[in-house]
């Protein structure tokens, strides 16, 4: 009973007191209850693809947002993993439980190779070099159509599980575990795992970080490997869910989409990319149900993106959280916008307006 | 074979050079990463297609009209979008990608997805030292050559060119010296988009038009600009010619080369950057080196 009370207290302080976390909790509850609300395969399919793409966008945020290593060719990790999982499954008939981790490991190896230029290049130079890798691979794939299927890709990949509901829960659980894991790893206030604060230091000033005794080479490789790993898992899930590994997973536009989603949602946050994907991807898909929607969907996508960035250049989730949360000026604890005093130290959260002096 | 390689290399290298100079210019002066640069080139090519094939206007008129309209479009985009959030570098880049996608989809709606062709400016060919060069290719080569020379004169010999270089070097000091930085940025954007429009006009009769035609040159232009060194105009011209020739050689000499053309030229760029991270002509300050 005592433990139950302590747990209740912890939940109250760590989740219910902070609006952002309440929203996250509601999001996960809805994610896991959606099959009970509707069994429309079309809607559930949109949610599954959104979760896969959200994991992909989070992994971009991990690398480019947190570590500051601008990667304009992030589709490389996704596509390499999708292709290697697909090839392993189609030719050697391994089950998805082996092919997806295998794809992720291939993606990590590729990530380490891509990480080598990152040791010498920075900023836009690195972005442009990474941009070319998926295009180079795409050219090679097109030149050897016998092995890779050319423009058609690899089709006939096994399904993730026998029923649609099982597939839904596999993707949802993997997404939840990975996103919470990344969020914990990247937490700058964590005293045990210092990865988050080290990567922040590298982004802010690499030379100072090095002078402070941080092994920036190692940390950058860790960032590349982690990012590639999660993008690879997303790619493997995608290949087995769509049952095809197509060249579209390596295209320039797919890399840009991860960036568009992340910047729309809010860069250097873990929740930002998730918000971005879960707003933009369903919007784009549902457009095709409207008359003229099929033709206009990307125009609407572009207009929404431009309008959002003109009004809130920091991203939509940061803008909303700014309105909902106040940081206590004394103890740095996050409070809901409804409070007048900090919930821990009772310091007034807003300065009083001076009246007729 | 050799003559074909030389002619086609000069054509594609020249066009890439004109595009790369425009891209490099607005990046160097305004720190604006304009991913929609080749989309403007596509818009100009489609305008010429529309004017000649649908309105029946003569080619020179439609060429001039297309360049002017594209430049106006570019200036509008700059005033409405880029200039307002120019302090957020990544946001500017995302907005330019969004603009390129919007242009692409509008062209899909108006013209459909199939390939279009524009009738050539001049038919026939000329024999130079035993090489057969069609007038169309000759026009493309001469135009890009003239533009590059004109730009060199503009930057080195006129006061406007000096002002542009000053703003590129240090915006605040240039402002203190009494230059109107905002106006110079606007002029640079106009020049940059105008160059893209001109490249589109010259290329329209040689290549096929499709609403996806902006993606492949964009990758090559980015590669050329980085190869030459970001912000260095001479470097990007050299980079563009190197990549144009590599691409042509691969198309003509390697089996299945049409698929590998991008891969090989980008591989070359990656190799050069690994050996010399700042590009061929880039400048690296001592404290920035890692």
Please give the Cα distance from A148 to A245 (Å, whole number). 9
The residues near A75 (Cβ < 8 Å, ≥ 6 apart) are A134, A249, A250, A251, A252, A254, A255, A258
- For residue A258, give the chain B residue with the closest CA: B94
What is the span of the domain harbouring residue A123? 38-250
Which chain A residues have a beta carbon less than 8 Å from that of B264? 139
Place A132 in a pLDDT band, splitting at 50, 70 and 90: confident
Please give the Cα distance from A245 to A87 (Å, whole number). 9
Which chain A residues have a beta carbon less than 8 Å from that of B97? 256, 259-260
**Prediction ipTM score:** 0.80
Residues of chain A with pLDDT > 90, as a percent, come to 30
A36-59 pLDDT, tens digit each? 888 888 888 999 999 999 999 999
Please give the Cα distance from A302 to A285 (Å, whole number). 14
A246-304 pLDDT, tens digit each? 888 888 888 888 988 998 888 888 899 999 999 989 988 888 777 777 778 888 888 88
SS3 labels along A76-99: HHHHHHHHHHHHHHHHHCCCHHHH
Q: What is the pLDDT of residue A111?
A: 93
- Nearest in space to B46 (alpha carbons), one of B140, B112, B145, B121: B112
Cβ distance A124 to B33 less than 8 Å, yes or no, reads yes
Please give the Cα distance from A106 to A104 (Å, whole number). 5
Element (H, E) at B151: helix B135-157
Place B286 in a pLDDT band, splitting at 50, 70 and 90: very low
Residue B55 domain-assigned (yes or no): yes
Which chain A residues have a beta carbon less than 8 Å from that of B82? none
Q: What is the pLDDT of residue B283?
A: 61
Q: How many domains does chain A have?
A: 1
Q: Which two tokens stand for residue A210?
A: 């090095």
A221-246 pLDDT, tens digit each? 999 999 999 999 999 999 999 998 98
Residue A74 domain-assigned (yes or no): yes
CB-based contact, A306 to chain B, within 8 Å: yes
**Residue B270, exposed/middle/buried by CB under 10 A (0-12, 13-18, 19+)?**
buried
Place B287 in a pLDDT band, splitting at 50, 70 and 90: very low
Counting one residue from chain A and one from chain B, the pairs whose CB atoms sit within 8 A come to: 123
Q: How many domains does chain B have?
A: 1
Which chain A residues have a beta carbon less than 8 Å from that of B105? 295-296, 298-299, 302
CB-based contact, A139 to chain B, within 8 Å: yes
Cβ distance A260 to B215 less than 8 Å, yes or no, reads no
Residue B248 domain-assigned (yes or no): no
Cβ distance B102 to A302 less than 8 Å, yes or no, reads yes
User: B55 or A83: which carries more pLDDT confidence?
Assistant: A83
Residues of chain A with pLDDT > 70, as a percent, come to 98
- For residue A134, give the chain B residue with the closest CA: B263
A216-242 and A96-118 are packed helices; what angle lies between their axes, rounded to 10 degrees? 140
Cβ distance A139 to B274 less than 8 Å, yes or no, reads no
Q: What is the mean pLDDT of chain B?
A: 84
Which chain B residues have a beta carbon less than 8 Å from that of A254? none
Q: What is the mean pLDDT of chain A?
A: 87
Q: What is the pLDDT of residue B290?
A: 42
Q: What is the pLDDT of residue B285?
A: 46
B33, B267, B290 ranked by CB distance to A206: nearest: B290
The secondary structure of chain B in percent helix, strand, coil, rounded to multiples of 5, reads 75, 5, 25
Give the gap in angstroms from C-alpha A116 to the nearest C-alpha of chain B: 9
Q: Give the residue-averaged pLDDT of A344-352.
A: 79
Q: What is the pLDDT of residue B288?
A: 46
User: Of chain B residues 197-226, which have a CB less than 8 A from chain A?
Assistant: 215, 218-219, 222-223, 225-226
Cβ distance B108 to A122 less than 8 Å, yes or no, reads no
SS3 labels along A317-334: HHHHHHHHEEECCCCCCE
Which chain A residues have a beta carbon less than 8 Å from that of B215? 252-253
* Whether pLDDT at B284 is above 60: no
β-bridge mates for residue A341, sequence order: A348
Q: What is the pLDDT of residue A354?
A: 63
CB-based contact, B268 to chain A, within 8 Å: no
| Alpha carbon distance, N-terminus to C-terminus of chain B | 45
SS3 labels along chain A: CHHHHHHHHHHHHHHHCCHHHHHHHHHHHHHHHHHHHCCCHHHHHHHHHHHHHHHHHHHHHHHHHHCCCCCCCCHHHHHHHHHHHHHHHHHHCCCHHHHHHHHHHHHHHHHHHHHHHHCCCCHHHHHHHHHHHHHHHHHHHHHCHHHHCHHHCEECCCCCCCCHHHHHHHHHHHHHHHHHHHHHHCCCCCCCCCHHHHHHHHHHCHHHHHHCCCCHHHHHHHHHHHHHHHHHHHHHHHHHHHCEECHHHHCHHHHHHHHHHHHHHCCCCCHHHHHHHHHHHHHHHHHCCCCCHHHHHHHHHHHHHHHHHHHCCCCHHHHHHHHHEEECCCCCCEEECCCCECCCCCCECCCCCCCCC
CB-based contact, A293 to chain B, within 8 Å: no
Give the gap in angstroms from C-alpha B67 to the nearest C-alpha of chain A: 24
Q: Give the residue-averaged pLDDT of B69-82.
A: 92
CB-based contact, A132 to chain B, within 8 Å: yes
Q: Taking the C-alpha atoms of B30, B36, B42 and B44 in order, what is their torsion angle to the nearest 10 degrees? A: -40
Cβ distance A305 to B94 less than 8 Å, yes or no, reads yes
DSSP letter at B183 equals H
With tokens 């893209």, the residue in question is: B196
What is the span of the domain harbouring residue B114? 2-211
B98, B256, B259 ranked by CB distance to A306: nearest: B98
Are A73 and A132 spatial neighbours (Cβ–Cβ below 8 Å)?
yes
Cβ distance B91 to A138 less than 8 Å, yes or no, reads no
Helix (H, G, I), strand (E, B) or coil at B132: strand
Residue A224 domain-assigned (yes or no): yes
**Residue B123, exposed/middle/buried by CB under 10 A (0-12, 13-18, 19+)?**
exposed
Give the gap in angstroms from C-alpha A127 to the nearest C-alpha of chain B: 10
Please give the Cα distance from A308 to A310 (Å, whole number). 5
Residue B244 domain-assigned (yes or no): no
Are A325 and A335 spatial neighbours (Cβ–Cβ below 8 Å)?
yes
Cβ distance A302 to B270 less than 8 Å, yes or no, reads no
C-alpha neighbours within 13 Å on the C-beta side of residue A6: 3
User: A190 or A225: which carries more pLDDT confidence?
Assistant: A225
B187-209 pLDDT, tens digit each? 999 999 999 999 988 888 888 88
User: Of chain A residues 224-263, which have a CB less than 8 A from chain B?
Assistant: 252-253, 256, 259-260, 263
DSSP letter at B84 equals T
Q: Give the residue-averaged pLDDT of B127-141.
A: 77
Q: What is the pLDDT of residue A356?
A: 61
Q: What is the pLDDT of residue A128?
A: 78
Which chain A residues have a beta carbon less than 8 Å from that of B288? 122
User: Of chain B residues 227-246, which have a CB less than 8 A from chain A?
Assistant: 230
Which chain B residues have a beta carbon less than 8 Å from that of A256? 97
Are A264 and A314 spatial neighbours (Cβ–Cβ below 8 Å)?
no
- For residue A315, give the chain B residue with the closest CA: B91
Strands A244-245, A154-155: parallel, antiparallel or unpaired by DSSP?
antiparallel
The b/e string for B89-109 (b: 16+ C-beta within 10 A; e otherwise) is ebbbbbbbbbbbbbbbbbbbe
> Rounded to 5 degrees, what angle do the CA atoms A320, A325, A328 make?
150
Cβ distance A256 to B273 less than 8 Å, yes or no, reads no
Please give the Cα distance from A47 to A166 (Å, whole number). 14
Residue A55 domain-assigned (yes or no): yes
Are A328 and A342 spatial neighbours (Cβ–Cβ below 8 Å)?
yes
Which chain A residues have a beta carbon less than 8 Å from that of B287? 207
Which chain A residues have a beta carbon less than 8 Å from that of B290? 119-120, 122, 206-207
Give the gap in angstroms from C-alpha A206 to the nearest C-alpha of chain B: 9
User: Of chain B residues 245-264, which have a CB less than 8 A from chain A?
Assistant: 256, 259-264
* Whether pLDDT at A189 is above 90: no
- Nearest in space to B77 (alpha carbons), one of B112, B35, B48, B110: B35
* Whether pLDDT at B222 is above 50: yes
CB-based contact, A319 to chain B, within 8 Å: no
A53-112 pLDDT, tens digit each? 999 999 999 998 888 888 888 999 999 999 999 999 988 888 889 999 999 999 999 999
* Whether pLDDT at A346 is above 80: yes
pTM of the prediction?
0.85
B12-51 pLDDT, tens digit each? 888 899 999 999 888 888 888 888 999 999 999 999 888 8
DSSP letter at B241 equals H
Give the gap in angstroms from C-alpha A164 to the nearest C-alpha of chain B: 33
Q: Taking the C-alpha atoms of B135, B139, B142 and B147 in order, what is their torsion angle to the nearest 10 degrees? A: 180
B94, B267, B290 ranked by CB distance to A260: nearest: B94
- For residue A310, give the chain B residue with the closest CA: B85
Place B235 in a pLDDT band, splitting at 50, 70 and 90: confident
């Amino acid at each position: 009973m005592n433990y139950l009370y302590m747990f209740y207290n912890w939940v109250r302080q760590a989740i219910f007191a902070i609006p952002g976390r309440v929203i996250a909790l509601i999001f996960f509850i809805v994610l896991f209850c959606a099959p009970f609300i509707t069994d429309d395969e079309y809607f559930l399919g949109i949610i599954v693809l959104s979760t896969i793409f959200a994991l992909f966008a989070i992994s971009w945020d991990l690398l480019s947002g947190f570590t500051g290593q601008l990667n304009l060719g992030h589709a490389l990790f996704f596509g390499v993993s999708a292709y290697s999982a697909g090839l392993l499954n189609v030719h050697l008939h391994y089950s998805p439980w082996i092919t997806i981790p295998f794809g992720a490991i291939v993606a990590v190896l590729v990530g380490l190779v891509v990480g080598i230029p990152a040791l010498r290049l920075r900023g836009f130079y690195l972005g442009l070099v990474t941009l070319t890798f998926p295009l180079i691979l795409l050219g090679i794939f097109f030149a050897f159509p016998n092995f890779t299927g050319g423009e058609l890709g690899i089709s006939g990949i096994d399904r993730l599980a026998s029923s649609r509901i099982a597939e839904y829960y596999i993707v949802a659980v993997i997404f939840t575990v990975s996103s919470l894991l990344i969020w914990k790893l990247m937490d700058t206030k964590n005293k045990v795992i210092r990865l988050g604060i080290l990567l922040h230091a590298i982004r802010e000033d690499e030379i100072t970080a090095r002078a402070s005794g941080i092994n920036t080479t190692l940390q950058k490789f860790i960032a590349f490997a982690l990012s590639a790993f999660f993008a690879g898992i997303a790619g493997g899930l995608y290949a087995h869910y769509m049952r095809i590994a197509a060249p579209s997973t390596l295209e320039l536009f797919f890399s840009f989409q991860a960036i568009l989603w992340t910047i729309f949602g809010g860069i250097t946050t873990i929740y930002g990319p998730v918000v971005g994907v879960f707003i933009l991807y369903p919007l784009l898909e549902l457009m095709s149900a409207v008359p003229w929607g099929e033709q206009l969907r990307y125009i609407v996508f572009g207009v929404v993106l431009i309008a959002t960035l003109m009004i809130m250049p920091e991203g939509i989730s940061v803008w909303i959280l700014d309105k909902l949360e106040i940081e206590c000026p004394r103890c740095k604890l996050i409070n809901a916008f409804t409070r007048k005093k900090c919930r821990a130290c009772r310091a007034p959260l807003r300065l009083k307006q001076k009246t007729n002096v | 074979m050799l003559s074909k390689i030389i002619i086609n290399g000069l054509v594609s290298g020249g066009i890439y050079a004109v595009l790369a100079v425009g891209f490099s210019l607005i990046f160097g002066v305004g720190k604006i990463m304009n991913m929609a640069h080749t989309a403007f080139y596509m818009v100009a090519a489609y305008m010429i297609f529309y004017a000649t094939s649908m309105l029946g206007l003569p080619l020179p008129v439609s060429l001039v009209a297309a360049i002017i309209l594209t430049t106006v479009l570019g200036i509008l985009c700059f005033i409405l979008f880029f200039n307002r959030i120019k302090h957020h570098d990544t946001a500017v880049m995302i907005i330019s990608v969004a603009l390129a996608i919007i242009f692409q989809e509008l062209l899909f709606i108006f013209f459909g997805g199939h390939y279009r062709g524009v009738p050539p400016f001049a038919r026939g060919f000329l024999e130079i030292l035993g090489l057969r060069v069609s007038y169309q290719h000759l026009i493309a080569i001469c135009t890009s050559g003239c533009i590059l020379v004109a730009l060199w004169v503009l930057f080195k010999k006129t006061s406007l060119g000096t002002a542009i270089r000053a703003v590129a070097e240090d915006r605040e000091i240039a402002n203190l010296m009494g230059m109107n930085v905002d106006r110079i940025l606007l002029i640079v954007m106009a020049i940059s988009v105008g160059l893209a429009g001109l490249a589109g006009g010259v290329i329209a009769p040689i290549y096929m038009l499709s609403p996806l035609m902006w993606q492949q040159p964009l990758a090559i232009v980015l590669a050329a600009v980085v190869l030459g060194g970001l912000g260095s105009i001479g470097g990007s011209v050299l980079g563009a010619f190197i990549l144009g020739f590599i691409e042509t050689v691969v198309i003509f000499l390697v089996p299945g080369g049409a698929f590998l053309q991008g891969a090989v030229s980008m591989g070359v760029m990656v190799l050069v950057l690994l050996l010399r991270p700042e590009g061929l002509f880039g400048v690296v300050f001592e404290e920035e080196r890692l």
